Structure 1
Amino acid sequence: MFRLEADGPKAVITLSRPPVNAINNAWIAGFGALLDRLDADGEIAVLHIRSDQQVFCAGADLRQVEERFGLDDGHLRFSEEVAAFQRLFRRIETLPCVTVAEIGGTAMGGGLELTLACDLRIAAEEAWLGLPEVTIGLVPGAGGTQRLTRLCGRSVASRMILTGDPVRGSEAVALGLVQWAAPRDRVAEQAEKLVARLGGLSRPALRACKSCIAEAARPGGEGFEREVDVTRDLIRTPEARRLVEAFLNKRKG
């Protein structure tokens, strides 16, 4: 269902469950196991999530959904499985490394919710991105209502969630849903360049920046204190001192 490749500070998880990378219990467990391996590595600065199928991910496995609806306690099992989706995506969201979603094809439902848990998103201009759950009487329960609203604002979230209408990758940039879009035949190349650039940056600095950005979403204003704390810690590291000194010397020259 997946391939994991690690190369120094960069790691790539390729979704590979034909034909549409449908998410079921085994998929959730398998992805979690890959994250366990990355945690054990400890040196990864950037995680690149992509697909080798025509679509990025079409969301929940409808065969599993159908099975749950045929059981007397299916509503309980289904809600438990949605909670498992949430736990996995929350884990992705809080990884200390930078996460990049390469959306080369359609990302619907849980597939789009997966990308919303990532830090950065680049989509094929032709790709459809959507949360269609309302059209079958459900909600985007794997974090979609919360992350899309925080990311794009209530207006965009209401448009996409309440109608279930998808948008093209080309429009998604203007909506704030993704940061970049490129033609389908170039999106992989652009994603790889982005990941390579991130992989060349300071891992402690990336981790610290990500923690400060996360703090901004919390009430209370502790994010300003967080900036001071991480700056104090970073400036004491040999890497930061080397990079700052190189910058200053270049400026003098």
Structure 2
Amino acid sequence: MQHLEIADRVATLTLDRPPANAINAAWVAGFHARLDELAARDDWNLLHVRSALRLFSAGADLKDMRAQYGSPEGRAAFQVGVRAMQVLFQRIEDLPRPSLAEIGGHAMGGGFELALACTFRIAAHEIQLGLPEVRLGLLPGAGGTQRLTRLVGRAVAERLILGAETVDGATAERLGLVQWSAPLADLPAAAGAIARRLADLPPHAMAEARACIAAALDPAVDGFAREVSGGAALLETTETRALVARFLDRKG
């Protein structure tokens, strides 16, 4: 269901559950297993999530929905599955190193919620993405209402979620849903270049910077103090001191 390869400090996780990368319990368990593999290794700086199929992910498995929506017990089981997706996506968001979602096919519902859990997103101009669950009388419950609102603000989140609107990759970039977009034919090369560039950056500095960005969204944390303490911690590392020394030497 997922394949993991590591090269040049990029961990590429390829989604491959035909025909639509639908998310079920086995899919979630497989993703956790790949993350367990990464947790035991230190030879990667970036997780690059992509799909081997025409779709990035269509979201929740329709077979499960058909089986579960007919009874109270089944509906309760479906909610357990949604909670399992929340846990997985939070684990992705909390990874010690950043992640990049390469969205080269439609990403709907849980599929887009997976992408929202990643640090970075790049989408093909031609694909469609969104959280259209309201059309079915549901809501995007695997973190979609929370992450999308934090990402783009209430107005855009309400437009997309309450309006059950899907948008193409170019529009997604304009709205701030993704950081980059490219024509489908150019997407793998563009995503690969971004992944390699990010993987070459010092992971310890990226981790501190990510913590400071998170602090900016947490009213209980003094983000300015977090910047000072994070910067001081970085200056104590041999990696940062070496990088700063080389920079100053080049500047004469």
TM-score with structure 1 length normalisation?
0.97
Mapped partners of 2:29, 2:203: distance in 1: 27
Say how many residue pairs are matched: 252
- 1:242 matched to 2:249? The reply is no
Could you tell me how far 1:23 is from its partner in structure 2? 0.3
The aligned residue for residue 113 of structure 1 is 113
Other-structure match for 1:88: 88
Moved more, 198-207 or 117-126: 198-207
Q: Secondary structure at the match of 2:122?
A: strand
Which shows bigger deviation, 95-104 or 65-74?
A: 65-74
The percentage of aligned residue pairs carrying the same residue is: 50
Question: Corresponding residue for 1:124?
Answer: 124
Q: Aligned partner of 2:237: which letter?
A: T
Aligned partners of 1:152 and 1:184: how far apart in 2?
24
Instruction: State the match for 2:47 in structure 1.
Output: 47
Post-superposition shift, 1:71?
3.5
1:123, distance to aligned residue in structure 2 (A): 0.3
Deviates most, 48-57 or 35-44 = 35-44
SS in 1 for 2:205: helix
Task: Report if aligned partners of 1:47, 1:97 keep a CA contact under 8 Å in 2.
Answer: yes
C-alpha deviation, 1:101, in angstroms: 0.4
Q: Could you list the runs of 5+ residues in structure 1 that have no partner in the other structure?
A: none
Give, in whole Å, the separation in 2 of the partners of 1:43 and 1:218: 31
Aligned partners of 1:74, 1:44: CA distance in 2, in Å? 40
SS in 1 for 2:101: strand
Shift of 1:19: 1.0
Between 1:26-35 and 1:39-48, the stretch displaced more is 39-48
Counterpart of 1:148?
A: 148
Within 2, Cα distance between the matches of 1:72 and 1:130?
28
Q: Over aligned residue pairs, what C-alpha RMSD do you find?
A: 1.1
Counterpart contact for 1:60–1:109, Cα < 8 Å = yes
Deviates more, 1:181-190 or 1:231-240: 231-240
AA aligned opposite 1:171 = T
Partner-residue secondary structure (3-state), 2:153: helix
1:10 maps to amino acid: V
Compared with structure 1, are the counterparts of its residues 43 and 234 closer, same or farther at alpha carbon in structure 2 (3 Å cutoff)? farther
The equivalences for 1:28-107 within 5 A come to 28-107=28-107
Of residues 192-201 and 208-217 in structure 1, the stretch that sits farther from structure 2 once superposed is 208-217
The corresponding residue for 1:219 is 219
Question: What is the deviation of 1:8?
Answer: 4.8
